[in-house]
Structure 1
Amino acid sequence: MTSAALPEHPWLLPGALAEAVGRTRRTTRDWLVDGLCFLLSLGWVLLATADAVAADPEFATPLPQRWMVPADALVGVVCCGLVWARRRWPLGLAVATLPLTVFSMAAAVPLLIFYFTVVVHRRTAVALAITAGGLTTNFAFSYLRPDPHLSYWETTIWGALISLFVLAWGMFVRARRQLVVSLRERAERAEAEQQLRVTQARHLERTRIAREMHDVLAHRISLLSLHAGALEFRPDAAPQEVAKAAGVIRDNAHAALQDLRAVIGVLRAETPAEEEPERPQPTLGDLPALIEESRAAGVRVTVRDVVSAVERVPVAVGRSVYRIVQEGLTNARKHAAGAVVTVDVSGGPGDGLSVEIRNRWPVGGGTNPEIPGTGTGLVGIAERVSLAGGRLAYGRDESGDFRLAAWLPWPA
């Protein structure tokens, strides 16, 4: 595991891993804080030593206790140097220097810094154990280093209050840092979930558009096949008819090519949104053009349209009706060439919109179509109708006709 893969906050990790993180991730802020702690500790050592010397200018202290002042100063200087290693071994330094709290006044500030580091970077149980040890040595310190202005118990109480204050401060800093990390992780998780939802929405939208384009391509290619077949079986047709059929083939081939480019553009995930191809959005108003296009291809289509308040038809419902009729006409050309196709559209607000495409079943059963298909057209229509809350039925009915019927809700 590299340092780049580790969390930025070692105080949230187990001891060994936190130490590893501390060894590899000392930021500029850490250097500044450690330098300030070192200068503060060194300043306290000098101040405490000078105060001890000033309190006994004539060396009136008994000889067995006189060694404490220089020894205390040396201990304080050593602890100042250990400040730079507190991030690497916070608990080890706190435990190793705990006996010094029995007598050392000069090392009080660096020892408090070690203690504060343990409270911030280690579990609460560990911090409380170090606190209990410090409160125990506090009784001995008040006896060995009595304050000339305070009684024994006053000195002991002040030492305990200072330890408890550092404990509360360290726990507050730890809790605040954990809260910040938690909020940051929550924000990052929310952002990641939002990006995932956007990606899923784009994927679903691309899939929906691709299905719609499948219907468009199937329709146009069926027209191409129909006219090409007419030219194949009527080589002696009049030049005007041949030219007309060739024009229809050319126009539909060009349109199919454009639609194919659109499909490829939609399915390319790397295509920027602003460069996506124009999406076809047919409505119920485009249905007459679809019928005329099929009639121009030689399909005999009979239409019965009794839709009331056409201008109020919801866009999604009108588009679904268009796709259903388009799929029905395409299937009729594939499997029942030459049969009369009846298209019936009816309904109104509150009653829903009904659409039915019916054609005679070919004599001798279904034909083997020259136009290859994917077999997913009716599956896509069924899914579209289901998502809209409607009903779909297709198959051979009692009269022997093939019937594709759907009902879509139309709120009043």
Structure 2
Amino acid sequence: MSQVLGRTWRAVVRETRTGRAALRATPRRTVIAEATASLLVAAIGLLPLLAVHPDRPLPAVLEGCWAALLVPVRRRWPVLAVLGTAPLLVGHNVWTLVAIPLIVLSATRDITPSRRAWRAVLVTGALALSLAALAGVREAPTLLLELAGRVVSVLLLLVLPALSGTLLGRRRPLVRLLRERNAYLEQARSLTAAAARMEERARIAGEMHDLLGHRLSLISVHAGALEITAARQAPPLAGQAELLRTTAGSAMNELREILDVLRSEELTTQSPEGNRGTREDIAELVAESRKAGVTVELTWAGPDTPDAGPRTRQAVHRVVREALTNVLKHAAGAPTLVEVRHADGRIEVSVTNEAPRVTGHPLAGNQSGLAGLDERVRLLGGSFVAGLVPKGGFRVAARLPSVPAGTVAFPEQADPTSPPAALLPVGSPRSGAPSPDAVHAEVYAPLSAEALTWPRLLGAGCVAALVVLPTVIFLVVFLAIAVLRPTGN
């Protein structure tokens, strides 16, 4: 006997230590939820006793506390929680009947295999009927009627919730399998798309190298020969020939940079374009434009941009270069002002030119460069505006975050540097550029892995709800009778 008691005591101590470790490992949110559920069950089982006095108050209070205790027990010992509902089925506190279906449903959902859960339900039902028979021996004439009522209670409060819980428990492995399969398919789709994208980018890079590299090399060689000849025979033209040669060399370097970007996933600070968008880089662009005949000035407010994101600095470089190129093509000789402001985690850049003083024949264009700038800036979470100014000039302005967020944002178009009210945004009828809606493709959020499992979860939930619907109706009617019976007396 002493050995049995010793083994039992050691098992209890071991289980207590295991339970404490499990409690420490349980997330705080789960602990709070379980404590709240226990307090709610205790309130449901005890507070109505103050208004509707039972025949035996002490057992009724003990049953309410027992029901509250079964709530946390069902998580670690679900079989014991199901067995513990037997006294509640034959008790004197009718309000604890509300907690029985919830405890049984939640506990049987965690019991595997399902036959183990049904064995626990069978034992609990037999125990409840046995307790009811023992309690009704003194009233033999009504014993059969009492047992019939207990059988109905066991069926509605124990068997049907257990059936609902086992249905939900069987769905769990299937849902887990479907979720893993969905994750695998999504990953395979992403890898396939990435491989196809890299293959297409490599093909484009090869085509650009083959088609443009040879032409630019020829231009550079002939420009070098022209520079030597001009230095001997026409010294005034030597500067223009030198500009042609250096421009061809710069174009060749930029072509190599673009090919490197196409062959890689993303622009990094170690790439050749890592120093783009700094104050020195913008000053070089302004100096090159001056050599080409553009009267341009640069004003820079705030610190330099070496700590800004490489994509942001690349966008600043592209905005200034595209704007100065447009000035050279469409407004040759017009005074131009390049303004850059760097403060409060944002970079504001604008290029404004006056109306051309000499009427010429500007080169034709479709404003695809401005549309590309608009798309580039908005993908970084910034805003872009380009249009006419009241006195006949043109202005290109962009506002960019120093470090763009990881998510793609499409903010509303805003005026980055408070331009005049007459400034026409890209996409207006007078500007002739495509609207942002026509430039940007519609972007949809990726589908969650739950997209294919939610229908099954919904189906399981509907079946479980239909199974326990008679239980809910029975509880409502039974509690209504319990409340109205003292009033009727």
The TM-score range, normalised by the shorter chain, is 0.3 to 0.5
Higher-Rg structure is 1
TM-score, length of structure 1 as denominator length: 0.43
TM-score, length of structure 2 as denominator length: 0.37
